[in-house]
Amino acid sequence: MTEPTINLAAYLARTGYQGPLDATADTLVGLHRAHAFSIPFENLDIHLGRSIRLDAAGIEQKLVHERRGGYCFEQNGLFRLVLQQLGFDVSCLVGRNLLAGYPLRPRAHQILLVQLQGQPWLVDLGFGANSLIEPIPLVAGPEFQQGFDCYRLQAAPLLNFHLQLLINGEWQTLYGFALDEAQPSDYQMMNYFYSQSPDSPFRQQRITTRSGPGYRVSLVDYELKIRRAEGATVTTLPDEAAYHEALATHFGVELPLGAFPARPGAARLA
């Protein structure tokens, strides 16, 4: 079966990437970095009462043409299509969020594995405020500095690898994953749970995050946090108008005031 394609020129314009397009490590890193700096992670459609489409046309329309963001199934789904179109060898994996602690969440985080001249690379644009800015070689042990954050992979007994982030001087595990390949139908099931189930953490809060050169910014309900090497500033926004202004200013997401329906028990978001 022929793999679906997207409008590559429109994607490159969306991310501002102007580098080479051959299937090399330099291209992979450059594309990943440009995507991370331009397309925000966000779960807003869940709170707008809209379904999350994972087909190529739906992802392209939302993240590229409508200049929105998405969560892991959309972010890494789009990037997979781009990489495959450029001739990269890409496979899809599933991780388990371990940063959230117990009880453990289901294995339901989409990540990508890219093979380059016999070396596998971990590729992930969809782990919110702690997402990789650049892909890293799939090798346990070495530390990878990305801006003011530092990552490493560790071997794990049950899941093959843990991705860890140095937080306040201590290594924290973000997620674990094995190397068995996932299928589109797996992601459809995961996406349904996370977008529709009342037990989904993505139904509890509006979350929008993005990385930039020298900073990371996140907006979780009314809390705006900007993190830099020297520390973080946290601002509590006063009302819905300020929330929408922050969405547009920091993430390029423009939605009409009053677009979100009220949540039971959450008067501030009414």
The tens digit of pLDDT for each residue in 62-118 reads 999 999 999 999 999 999 999 999 999 999 999 999 998 888 888 999 999 999 999
pLDDT at 10: 98
pLDDT at 130: 96
Q: Tell me the per-residue pLDDT of 201-219, one tens digit each, with 9 for 90 and over.
A: 999 999 999 999 999 999 9
Nearest to 174 by CA among 253, 72, 270: 72
Contacts of 49 (CB under 8 A, 6+ apart): 261
Domains with residue ranges and CATH for the chain: 8-186 (3.30.2140.20)
pLDDT at 3: 76
pLDDT at 159: 66
Per-residue b or e along 199-233, where b marks 16 or more CB atoms closer than 10 Å to that residue's CB: ebebbeebbbbbbeeeebbbbebbebebbeeeeee
> Which positions are catalytic?
72, 109, 124
Whether the per-residue pLDDT at 268 is higher than 50: the answer is no
Whether the per-residue pLDDT at 2 is higher than 90: the answer is no
pLDDT at 263: 57
Q: Please give the DSSP secondary-structure letter assigned to residue 66.
A: S
pLDDT at 24: 98
Give percent of the chain above pLDDT 90: 89
Whether the per-residue pLDDT at 238 is higher than 50: the answer is yes
pTM of the complete model: 0.94
pLDDT at 266: 45
pLDDT at 157: 79
pLDDT at 183: 92
Give percent of the chain above pLDDT 70: 96
- Residue 46 has which token pair? 């869940």
Residue that the structure tokens 């705006």 belong to: 224
